[in-house]
Amino acid sequence: MTTLALLFPIIAPVLLIALFGWGYARWRPIDMSATNRLNVELLSPLLVFSAMTQKHASFTDYGPLLLAVLVVTLGSGAVAWLVARQLGYARAAFSAPQMFTNTGNIGLPLWLFAFGEALFPAAIAVFVLLNLLHFTLGIKLFNRRAPLLSVLQTPMIWALVAGLAVQASGYLLPEWLAKAIKMLGEVAIPLMLFALGVRMAQFKVTRWRAGLLGGLLCPVVGLLLAWPLSQLLPAGQAGILLLYGALPPAVLNYLFAEQYQQDPELVAALVVAGTLLSLMFIPLGLWLGLPH
């Protein structure tokens, strides 16, 4: 099987759903705030809970993977901080998007399509870790005085805790309940992709030079850090790590930058340029991570 034939069925659905969102938003202005709130407060937490209560899910098996993700995240941030200081960019606005990439809108669908449901709990564990870091360290980067209690208001954290509790107890949910939760949780993935396309249509980018630099720096550093660490992990988890290294900056960085007035124009450029450049780097990350 050629590389293109291997990667196309994985990447094409992700691109198409995001493209539908972009096209619809260009044709008819749309406010996704209520839908995004539904996704964050209900659908995504149900996705997390469902994944962590599966019979084959064992959160303790993912310790080395999560440690590797942490090294890639902090290492990417350190490199970006040095580059921002050298070039005179706002350090928080430039480095935070390099650290906190799009594990939700792009990462989760790709992890699911590429590695299947058996490894999806590992992807969920990475997703939850990055959200926890983003709502603590990420917020602190933008505003050192920001309270960290907001992380306790993140439904995904409570969904993870509840899922782990059910897993540890050995209790199996009734099939009718587990199926309903799984069906609702599965809505989160296409909705994330559609919302990403809508957001891309709404962004106005003025700082393309900085955006392209950051958009290149993010996956290049991420993959360079992820590659040696991936050699220490089992095959499937290594693939999850390599794909993580190739992901572009998350849209949430822009919302934080706008909220705390930390050069949102720069962050918008990083998010848009990084998402466009990910069309080159995500196939590379997948090719490196998939068995040949």
Instruction: Please report, as a single letter, which amino acid is at residue 81.
Output: W
Q: List alpha helices for 143-234, DSSP H.
A: 155-169, 175-202, 208-230
Question: Is residue 114 a contact partner of residue 242, using CB atoms and an 8 Å limit?
Answer: no
What are 128's two structure tokens?
């939850």
- Domains by residue range for the chain, with CATH: 26-289 (1.20.1530.20)
Q: In this predicted model, what pLDDT tens digit does every residue of 55-85 receive, in sequence order?
A: 555 667 789 999 999 999 999 999 999 999 9
Q: In this predicted model, what pLDDT tens digit does every residue of 34-53 receive, in sequence order?
A: 998 898 889 989 998 988 78
232 Cβ partners below 8 Å, 6+ apart? Answer: 64, 68
With a cut of 70, list the residues of the chain below it in pLDDT.
1-5, 55-59, 148-152, 292
Average pLDDT score over the chain: 89
pTM: 0.88
